Amino acid sequence: MATAKEEFLKEFGEHYGYPNGPKTIDQIRATEFNRLQDLVYLDHAGATLYSELQMDSVFKDLTSNVYGNPHSQSDSSSATFEIVRDARQQVLDYCNASPKDYKCIFTSGATAALKMVGEAFPWSCNSNFMYTMENHNSVLGIREYALDQGAAAIAVDIEDIHPRLEGEKVSTKISLHQAQRRKVAGLQEGEPTGDVYNLFAFPSECNFSGLRFDLDLAKIIKEDSSRILGTSVCKNGRWLVLIDAAKGSATMPPDLSKYPVDFVALSFYKLFGYPTGLGALIVKNDAAKLLKKSYFSGGTVAASIADIDFIKRREGIEELFEDGTVSFLSIASIRHGFNILNSLTVSAVSRHTTSLALYTRKTLLALRHGNGSRVCILYGRHNSVEMCHEMGPIVSFNLKRPDGSWYGYREVEKLASLSGIQLRTGCFCNPGACAKYLGLSHTDLISNTEAGHVCWDDNDIINGKPIGAVRVSFGYMSTYEDAKKFVDFVTSSFMSPQNHVHNGNQLKGVNGSLDTCYYLKSITIYPIKSCGGFGARSWPLSNNGSLKHDREWILKSLSGEVLTLKRVPEMGLISSFIDLSQGMLFVESPHCKERLKIRLELDFYDSTVQDIELHGQRYKVYSYSNEPNAWFSEALGRPCTLLRYSGSNHEFVLDKTKDVVSCKDTDSAVSFANEGQFLLVSEESVSDLNKRLCSDVHMGVCGTAMKVNANRFRPNLVVSGGRPYDEDGWRDIRIGNKYFRSLGGCNRCHVINLSLNAGRVQKSKEPLATLASYRRVKGRILFGILLKYASVNGEQQQGDSWLHVGQEVHPD
Ligand SMILES: *Cc1c(COP(=O)(O)O)cnc(C)c1O
């Protein structure tokens, strides 16, 4: 029987790999991307990876040559001058642009190149800025310059321009979406007073869908604009064409000998990973002459007089547009990247990456749940293999449950990261493509924004619709194994083979039988948020019902953010202990010789009470003299200050919630803000997890080292008795004579993967990866429950305000 790889090679083998290059794909991965190890990196549309050999060459280059400022006259500056000149030529060659017709202006990135065009374009009130719906925000932003000058901005869809346009009438194939015009004081639309210039902008490859645009569009727009666009849009005037090739050029640079494009924006980290912060605008000479540069600077000015309006700008196009000193060391580095692409040949890179994308699309499209419904909805064009060739190496999709509801893309991202797969989710800075493929209307988009959705946040499904997608994208060094691991991950984590709802809304909790007897096994107090806590046989509750002194102190960085275990894992190595009879908090760290003593009584504090803002709320806090601050700064190897909550109940209520309730990473917003006072885990659930950790076959050997202790979950209370996950079903709970209410499961993040042993922090994928395999509810990975002290009939609870280890726990 053929292996999966043989099957793949049978179908895609002629496109896969670099049989004619200096190394095979497997050799490239083994020798030049050794650092990847088992990591599956699938965000090449975000940034591709640099090769280790490339970096060696850059290092050798920079350490063996002396590069001076290219504007100076020394030998080292002429070395720089030459290398910059050669680099320009290399960029032009990459796009097959004749140096007679085109110039290469270096910029700080593709965005800067696009902005330069927008800023200097000869807009007038009769101009049009027309752009395709599928465009990066950095292109859409040009419209602000256009509108400011009274020009019209028009979004178009060119969905129907394929297949090839030769000889066909195309006037019906472009649909205008929207034309807007801003009222600009002092400008009036009217008869053209001079030449009118219009700009048409589109990406060579959409960074959302992977759709490759036909560059013939450039020719059609320039030569036949009124036929396509209708005379209402274009009165007279000349059309210039801008291509955003930031994404597309990594595998298919635009051929400027064939297409009459005026401007092309590029970014080098998208081509070969390094350097970042460097891009280029390739500009046609006659288009460059139309641009109006306003700012002048060192580098762009030949002569100027300080106190009167006199300047003489430089003549050369590059010199005129490159303000200041170009990033000459980065520019010197790009040839080492081009060397790689040229040795493989960019056409082989395109075939190779396309074969991986085709395989991935095909496999994802074929996935079905046990009930026959589709697992994966792909965005873009892939109705036929032929169509697929119009797609770059991007696969964008969302996943569905057997019942047709959507998995949130954040869930996919979180689980992928646990499987060592790095991908990208959201709208990828391409709101037009996002709206188009996800079927979001303007009203949806506006109400999403009003519902608080902004880029980067955690709301991935609103009103039952995904508002972003999952994107995997391939680079020249991606392998079949990367693609295979990814599709295997989707299959194992999201496909449900049986005809039942996989990862449904309910965890299967087994209710404890009547004679089950639960008891309190341990009590842990964490005085300083995110630092180690201590166990107590008995501990008092404070007035509001949380454990006294629990998370009463926090550490704050110099920039004002509260330090958390997630960002500063070393905090877990700091241990603390409170002796109530002495009225002292003792703190120890492997990095400090002396242990720190802090008196619990208030008179020790500095007199100043500060106001700090935490998660959008203001708190009154006490600050400390220098001694504790110096101690913690040494313990953590970073400057920080200790603060203590000064509220009547001495609690960082909200803050504590963040630590306990949210356990929040990229997941959905906290729903119990202010409420989770205690975190409870059950010993039986921990044992069950440990059994699974050890039986997991693909984990290889299992030793005791794999096992986790209940402390890993930073619980306040550990209970014992009964069966694993009984606690899921609890609502009202009595411990001794105190009543508590469950707020539901605690959503877990990778903080539980930090092991803090023998003064060292180690990170792994466990136990979160295993929990994710069986404790997932709506994108959250639950373990343990959150409790809130309950008032009885609105009354404060009476009696002894202590909890004691050994007390019975009664879920009522
Ligand atoms: C990455 C990207 C950009 C932005 O490029 P920067 O160099 O980061 O400014 C613009 N457009 C597309 C299509 C991109 O993929």
Residues 522-545: tens digit of each pLDDT: 999 999 988 999 999 999 988 777
Atom index in ligand 1 nearest the CA of residue 428 equals: 15
**Does the beta carbon of 267 sit less than 6 angstroms from any atom of ligand 1?**
yes
pLDDT at 648 over 80: no
Q: Which residue out of 427, 429, 434, 640 is catalytically annotated?
A: 429
**Does the beta carbon of 110 sit less than 6 angstroms from any atom of ligand 1?**
yes
pLDDT at site 170? 41
Greatest mean pLDDT among 14-28, 170-184, 227-241 lies in: 14-28
**Does the beta carbon of 138 sit less than 6 angstroms from any atom of ligand 1?**
yes
The stretch 252-274 carries a mean pLDDT of 97
Cα 268 to averaged position of ligand 1 atoms, centre (Å): 10
CA separation, residue 437 to residues 349, 364, 440, 603, 713 (Å): 27, 17, 8, 63, 40
- Residue that the structure tokens 């056409």 belong to: 347
Cα 430 to averaged position of ligand 1 atoms, centre (Å): 10
The stretch 340-351 carries a mean pLDDT of 96
The stretch 54-81 carries a mean pLDDT of 92
pLDDT at site 502? 43
Other Cβ atoms within 10 Å of 127 Cβ, number: 23
Other Cβ atoms within 10 Å of 298 Cβ, number: 9
pLDDT at 703 over 70: no
The stretch 94-98 carries a mean pLDDT of 97
d(CA 540, CA 455): 44
**In 513-636, beta strands by DSSP E:** 518-525, 534-536, 538-540, 553-557, 575-579, 584-588, 596-599, 609-614, 617-623
> 703 or 79: whose pLDDT is higher?
79
Nearest CA to ligand 1 atom 1: 246
Greatest mean pLDDT among 280-289, 542-551, 574-583, 703-712 lies in: 280-289
**Does the beta carbon of 111 sit less than 6 angstroms from any atom of ligand 1?**
yes
**Does the beta carbon of 212 sit less than 6 angstroms from any atom of ligand 1?**
no
**Does the beta carbon of 270 sit less than 6 angstroms from any atom of ligand 1?**
yes
Peptide bond into 260 cis (omega under 30): no
pLDDT at 119 over 70: yes
> Could you tell me which of 557, 602, 550 has the C-alpha nearest to residue 578?
550
Residue 501: pLDDT band with limits 50, 70, 90: very low
Other Cβ atoms within 10 Å of 731 Cβ, number: 12
DSSP, res 647: S
Query: If you average pLDDT over every residue of the chain, what do you get?
Result: 84
The stretch 95-102 carries a mean pLDDT of 96
pLDDT at 602 over 80: no
Greatest mean pLDDT among 172-186, 206-220, 639-653, 765-779 lies in: 206-220
Spans of all domains in the chain: 1-53+353-504, 97-292, 523-666, 678-811
Reported residue count of the chain is 812
Spatial CB neighbours of 296, under 8 Å, sequence gap ≥ 6: 304, 311, 313
Cα 111 to averaged position of ligand 1 atoms, centre (Å): 6
b/e burial code for range 559-595 (CB count within 10 A of at least 16 → b): eeebbbbbebbbbbbbbbbbeeeeeebbbbbeebeee
Q: Which residue of 108, 117, 135, 138 sits with most ligand 1 atoms within 8 Å of its CB, as the best mutation to test the pocket?
A: 138
Query: Picking from 90-104, 242-256, 709-723, which range would have the lowest pLDDT averaged per residue?
Result: 709-723
pLDDT at 469 over 70: yes
pLDDT at site 654? 36
Atom index in ligand 1 nearest the CA of residue 46 equals: 1
**Does the beta carbon of 203 sit less than 6 angstroms from any atom of ligand 1?**
yes
pLDDT at site 83? 95
The stretch 91-119 carries a mean pLDDT of 97
Identify the bridge partners of residue 152 per DSSP, sorted by sequence position.
Answer: 128, 181
pLDDT at 768 over 60: yes
pLDDT at site 509? 47
pLDDT at 174 over 90: no
Atom index in ligand 1 nearest the CA of residue 108 equals: 7
Spatial CB neighbours of 590, under 8 Å, sequence gap ≥ 6: 573, 759
The stretch 757-780 carries a mean pLDDT of 85
pLDDT at site 715? 93
Cα 394 to averaged position of ligand 1 atoms, centre (Å): 15
> 516 or 6: whose pLDDT is higher?
6
The stretch 608-626 carries a mean pLDDT of 74
pLDDT at site 453? 55
Residue 376: pLDDT band with limits 50, 70, 90: very high
pLDDT at 271 over 70: yes
Residue 188: pLDDT band with limits 50, 70, 90: low
pLDDT at site 225? 74
Tokens of 756: 């803090």
269's enclosing H/E stretch is helix 269-272
Q: Which residue of 107, 142, 244, 276 sits with most ligand 1 atoms within 8 Å of its CB, as the best mutation to test the pocket?
A: 244
DSSP, res 661: I
**Does the beta carbon of 279 sit less than 6 angstroms from any atom of ligand 1?**
yes
**Does the beta carbon of 109 sit less than 6 angstroms from any atom of ligand 1?**
yes
Atom index in ligand 1 nearest the CA of residue 136 equals: 11
The stretch 350-369 carries a mean pLDDT of 95
pTM: 0.79
> Could you tell me which of 342, 249, 354 has the C-alpha nearest to residue 15?
354
Nearest CA to ligand 1 atom 12: 246
pLDDT at site 72? 85
pLDDT at 301 over 80: yes
Atom index in ligand 1 nearest the CA of residue 112 equals: 9
The stretch 234-257 carries a mean pLDDT of 92
Cα 247 to averaged position of ligand 1 atoms, centre (Å): 7
Q: Which residue of 106, 131, 247 sits with most ligand 1 atoms within 8 Å of its CB, as the best mutation to test the pocket?
A: 247
Nearest CA to ligand 1 atom 9: 111
pLDDT at site 696? 55
pLDDT at site 373? 93
> Could you tell me which of 208, 783, 772, 209 has the C-alpha nearest to residue 494?
772
Residue 671: pLDDT band with limits 50, 70, 90: very low
pLDDT at site 396? 96
Nearest CA to ligand 1 atom 15: 247
**Does the beta carbon of 207 sit less than 6 angstroms from any atom of ligand 1?**
yes
CATH class of 1-53+353-504: alpha beta
pLDDT at 503 over 50: no
Q: Is the dihedral of CA 774, 778, 781, 787 positive or negative?
A: negative
Coil, strand or helix: which one is 361?
A: helix
CATH fold, domain 97-292, is: Aspartate Aminotransferase; domain 2 (3.40.640)
Spatial CB neighbours of 643, under 8 Å, sequence gap ≥ 6: 553, 554, 555, 556, 610, 612, 621, 622, 623, 624
Question: Is 429 in the active site?
Answer: yes
pLDDT at 161 over 50: no
Cα 434 to averaged position of ligand 1 atoms, centre (Å): 16
Peptide bond into 163 cis (omega under 30): yes
Q: Which residue of 429, 434, 471 sits with most ligand 1 atoms within 8 Å of its CB, as the best mutation to test the pocket?
A: 429
Cα 505 to averaged position of ligand 1 atoms, centre (Å): 39
Query: Picking from 89-93, 566-570, 617-621, 700-704, which range would have the lowest pLDDT averaged per residue?
Result: 700-704
Spatial CB neighbours of 722, under 8 Å, sequence gap ≥ 6: 512, 516, 517, 518, 682, 684
Residue 797: pLDDT band with limits 50, 70, 90: low
The percentage of residues in the chain with a pLDDT greater than 70, rounded to a whole number, is 82
Cα 246 to averaged position of ligand 1 atoms, centre (Å): 5
DSSP, res 682: E
pLDDT at 50 over 90: yes
DSSP letters, 128-175, are: EEEEESS--HHHHTHHHHHHHTT-EEEEEE-GGG-S--TT---TTS-E
